[in-house]
Amino acid sequence: MAETILLDGPLRWRDIAAIADGAAPVLSGNARARILKARAVVDSLVERGIRGYGINTGVGALCDVVISREHQEALSRNIVLSHACGVGEPLGRAETRAIVAAQVNNFAHGFSGVRAEVVDLLLALLAKDCIPVVPARGSVGYLTHAAAIGQVLIGSGHAVHRGERIAGGEALARIGERPLVLQAKEGLSLVNGTPCATGLASLALAHVERLLDWADAAAAMTYENLGSQAGTFREGPLALRTSPGLHLVGGRLRDYLDGSALLSQSAGSRTQDPLSLRGIPHVHGAARDAFAQACEVVDRELASMTDNPAVAGTPERPEVHSQAHAIGASLALAMDSLAVAAASVAAISERRIDRLVNPLVSRLPAFLADDSGIRSGFMIAQYTAAALVGENRRLAAPASLDGGITSALQEDILTHATPAAGKALAVADNLERILAIELLAAAEAYDCQPSAAARAAGTQALYERVRALVPPYRDDRPMNEDFERVRALLRRPA
């Protein structure tokens, strides 16, 4: 039985991530009442002929073209179909579920004016795991992703149900639903706002949060193999710097390394360790601080109505407001920052991998191979990590500065929030792969230690988790298969 999440007030990013993973949102009575009230306002606007963008006008540069009442349903349908311009491979199940969940959350604020039937059908897609096929590329903001979802609601496009890709109309029939005939404003609302960005951003936060914990774990193992400075992560000296993230990481490292005979044996033999070792709390901590800021931004965005136009007032005194609430500038900046933070953690991990395999600094066998020359060991694993760090460097370029002009100068600034969230997910994927390599290399380094001194209880437990999946490496198999086994471990809590 899937977990249910009651949608009464705004959802938070953790709720969106849970729905992406399979939980089912359920509308509260209050949320449904807000939706019904907003729809009554739209109906009143239509009845009174009050001009509202995308309700009884064209969209984009066509916003001054007035649409007669008898053509407003056609306008809604045409918006969905004409905006379905996405290209490339489709988003995954989790990504699409996250976007749909964020759409429902946006409509439940009660300022969009779609009918309850639209929200109910989106909820049915989630509850029955009928996933619209959403091409991943081609959106500067949100339009093409959301249009692909809207297509399924009207019986067009495609969806995946029980692993099979089928036409949208057939997919609805299989789950006992019928296509909608969209009414005034609904086509625009379905393709509008920041749900695409908030959905993907919520997933990125969930991935990065988990990987930040694993980065501390991998770093502790590497430090125990290589560290030799006395008291590197002591609480008192670290407290001289103000950073919640730094102090959290310092505490985690102390817990992992508590009681390490291996470290005690080498402590004090160097005045200071290299930055990739002694700077772990500072780099990982800074990433955690950036993560915390991004969490605040995404939760604020989910608490905001991001449709355009917004409807308010009452059916007796209806109001329509054409603002720029659909612009996701804050999301774009937050996701650019999150991508840079995750890329920084990946970069320092790769530097630690290099120190583990480099005989010039590790005091361990070259490339962690017990018969170097015949065996290459982890030589090329470090190359792979370096390549992924390079890819992250390119991905970390800010999407929020891309700009651009669309719709005949009507939409003459673009903030690229959805691409920014997509880039953050891609960087997190590379971080996961790099951390898998570090965990494997650190486990191998333990096996190469010349000393029989005991590891800390915390790192011993980590070593055993790795070795339960992957045996020591002897150049006897493709190493990328080992990486994939450890990635499965990284998808569980550290």
Could you list the active site residues?
53
Closest CA to 275 of 267, 283, 264: 283
235 CB-contact burial (10 Å; exposed 0-12 / middle 13-18 / buried 19+): exposed
